[in-house]
A and B are shown apart, each in its own frame.
Chain A
Amino acid sequence: MSAPAPEILIDARGLEPPQPMERVMQTLALLRPGQSIRLLLHREPFPLYPILTERGYRYDKRMDADGSYVILISPAGEDR
């Protein structure tokens, strides 16, 4: 068996709310140690941030030139 990919990509651009959040929640539950999530979204996911913090995840965000967002999510305790 090969090692799990270090990063899981969720392309939620153009999905109707709350599907992007549903996908993130489902993926968080499957996350193995050392793995992180790269979320692509057409808008900034404000409601997601407090939920991530509350559940022990940290996030880095970046806005792309086309106005979409790239959010990197990983467990708060892990070094990257």
Chain B
Amino acid sequence: MSQPAGLSFEQAPPFSLPLRFFLTAPLFLIAAAVLIVLAPEALASRWTPQALALTHALTLGFLTMVMLGALMQMLPVVAGAPLPAPRLVAWISHLSLALGTVALMAGFLTAEPAAYGIGIVLLGGGFTVFLAAAAISLLRATAGVTVNGIRLAVMSLALTILLGLALVLLRAGGWALPAVEFAIAAHMSFGLVGWVLLLVLGVAYQVVPMFQLTPPYPPRLSRWLAGALFALLMLHAITPLFFSSIARIIDVAIAGGILLFAVATLRVQIRRRRKLPDVTLDAWRLGMASLIACVAIWLAAQFWPAWANSDAYPMLLGVLFIGGFAVSVVTGMLYKIVPFLAWFHLQSQLQARAGTIPTMKDMIAERWMRGQFRLHLIACVLLVGVPFLPQLGIAAGGVLAVSAVLLWVNLWSAVRRFTRHGGGVS
């Protein structure tokens, strides 16, 4: 059934399964950009309703949307463990994530209990279906460093959703409990470091050497880093309640783990076999540089309480982690996954002969991807400036909007080429 060292494409799901997630995600990136343009003051503090709506448009609507679609593809192909009832699971989780995120954003913006209620039902139900299917698949999966990363990331997602649902219930009901601060901290760290970073890390072990022709990650690092970070996140969530004195040590260890991953990725990329320009490679480098910047900013906050207590500090950390790291890496991966799947399904559907189908590189024009990446980079630079110069907000949102629209157009261009050459999306 499964192949330990390779990819088993006989198990690949139909193109439409992951594709619907990939084509929906940029719409939430556009929505986030529009929110910034309409309410640039959203970026003044992370607790404003606009900032919460914006954050969840990015984390649920864009990042999680792409990550669920990628898992639909990767669990069968990389882990050799297909999801049960994949079409039904894809249909339910895609629809409830899209509509649930819209409802949650509406809840934050209007404080309307009905919107929160719809969001809770849709997100709770959709994630339950997805997590149950992923758990069944992961129990059967072939062991390996990538599957290990996916397992820990999916467990983190489950914890993030549970905490998130509890927090929304509290918010919708207007209750304030003393432990809410800890729940928010755990929701954020399991969501960003657990779900997002651990999935990127697990996937990196497989795709960075494969697509960027680098040497493998040091085996000792790839074996323990994901597990260690997950254990630290558990301690990070629990210790503030009991032993606040060692909380600082745990934070240092988490920052150290993140730094180690970023540096190891940059190091293997320097030693890649073929030094050709590649948008995905640049996206990963921007992502890793942003992670290193996050660690540096966090370190500064440990020494300067004034900086740690400012509104600018958490906003800057959020912009760098979500925009600079996660959105960059996920965009770079979309530029590999979508053309690869378009090429793969075309050639397997048509049993294609020489010259009749485009190559993977023909699926999206290189200069359009490059153009989009430059806009994304400019948007990131402007967003980093916003906490200090709020006047930059509208420009940052505008550039982000154009970049997100162009990402959507680029992904659609691969689908258009696929169908024009006779590929069928079913």
Per-residue contact bits, chain B 1-27, to A (CB 8 Å; 1 contact, 0 not): 001011111100000000000000000
Q: Which residue of B lies closest to A14 (CB)?
A: B273
**Stretch of B49-57, B235-243, B344-352, B373-381 lying at the A interface:** B344-352
Chain B residues with Cβ under 8 A from A50's Cβ? 9-10
Smallest Cβ distance from A48 to chain B, in angstroms?
A: 9
Binds A, one of B61-69, B151-159, B354-362, B399-407: B354-362
**Neighbouring A residues of B161 by C-beta, 8 Å:** none
- Of B8, B212, B343, the contact of A18 (CB 8 Å cutoff): B343
Q: Does A47 contact B (CB under 8 A)?
A: yes
Given contacts A44-B5, A47-B9, contact A16 B354 (CB under 8 A): no
The verdict on B211 contacting chain A, using a C-beta distance below 8 Å, is yes
Q: Does chain B have a CB within 8 A of A58?
A: no
B340 interfacial contact with A, CB 8 Å:
yes
A14 touches B354 (CB 8 A): no
Q: With A17-B210, A18-B340, A18-B343 in contact, do A46 and B355 touch (Cβ < 8 Å)?
A: no
Of the listed stretches A2-10, A22-30, A32-40, A72-80, name the one at the interface; the rest are far from the partner chain.
A22-30
Contacts of A16 in B (CB 8 A): 211-213, 274
Residues of B with C-beta under 8 A to A29: 353-354
Task: State how many residues of chain B have any CB contact under 8 Å with chain A.
Answer: 25
Question: Is there an interface contact between A46 and B353, defined as CB atoms closer than 8 Å?
Answer: no
Report B-chain residues with C-beta under 8 Å of the C-beta of A55.
Answer: 351
Q: In the complex the two chains form, is B8's CB within 8 Å of A47's CB?
A: yes
In the assembled complex, the Cα of A25 lies from the Cα of B344 at a distance in Å of 12
Asked if residues A17 and B355 are in contact (CB atoms below 8 Å), the reply is no
Are A42 and B273 in touch, CB under 8 angstroms?
yes
Interface size on A (CB < 8 Å)?
21
A14 to B9, CA, bound (A): 22
Q: Which B residues lie within 8 Å of A44 (CB)?
A: 5-6
Q: How far, in angstroms, from A16 to B343 measured CA to CA in the complex?
A: 14
Question: In the complex the two chains form, what is the Cα distance from A30 to B353 in whole Å?
Answer: 9
- Chain A nearest CB from B228 CB (Å) reads 28
**How far, in Å, is A57 (CB) from chain B's closest CB?**
13
Chain A residues with CB under 8 A of B7? 46-47
A55→B351 CA distance, assembly (Å): 8
CB of B353 to closest CB in A, whole Å: 4
Tell me the minimal C-beta distance from B251 to chain A in angstroms.
39
A25 contacts B8, C-beta separation under 8 Å: no
Near B by CB (< 8 A), chain A positions 38-74 give: 42-47, 50-51, 55
Cβ-defined contact, A46 with B5, below 8 A: yes
Least CB separation from B278: chain A residue: A16
- Distance (whole angstroms) from the CB of B133 to the closest CB of chain A: 24
In the assembly, what is the distance between CA of A37 and CA of B8, in Å?
23
Query: Which residues of the other chain, A, contact B3 by a CB distance below 8 angstroms?
Result: 46
- Report the separation of the CA atoms of residues A45 and B354 in the bound assembly, to the nearest whole angstrom: 20
**Distance of A18 Cα from B12 Cα, bound (Å):** 16
Please tell me which one of the listed residues B10, B211, B354 contacts residue A25 in the complex, with CB atoms under 8 A apart: B354
Q: Which chain A residues border B211 with CB–CB below 8 Å?
A: 16-17
**Bound-state Cα–Cα, A27 to B3, Å:** 26
A–B pairs, 18, beta carbons within 8 Å: A14-B213, A14-B274, A15-B274, A17-B340, A18-B343, A18-B360, A19-B359, A22-B359, A26-B354, A26-B355, A29-B353, A29-B354, A46-B3, A46-B5, A47-B6, A47-B8, A50-B10, A51-B9
Extra A-B contacts (17), CB below 8 Å, given A22-B360, A29-B354? A14-B274, A16-B211, A16-B274, A18-B340, A18-B343, A18-B360, A22-B359, A25-B347, A25-B353, A29-B353, A30-B354, A42-B273, A44-B5, A46-B5, A47-B6, A47-B7, A51-B348
Nearest 4 pairs between A and B by C-beta?
A46-B6, A29-B354, A29-B353, A26-B354
Chain A contact residues, CB within 8 Å of chain B: 14-19, 22, 25-27, 29-30, 42-47, 50-51, 55
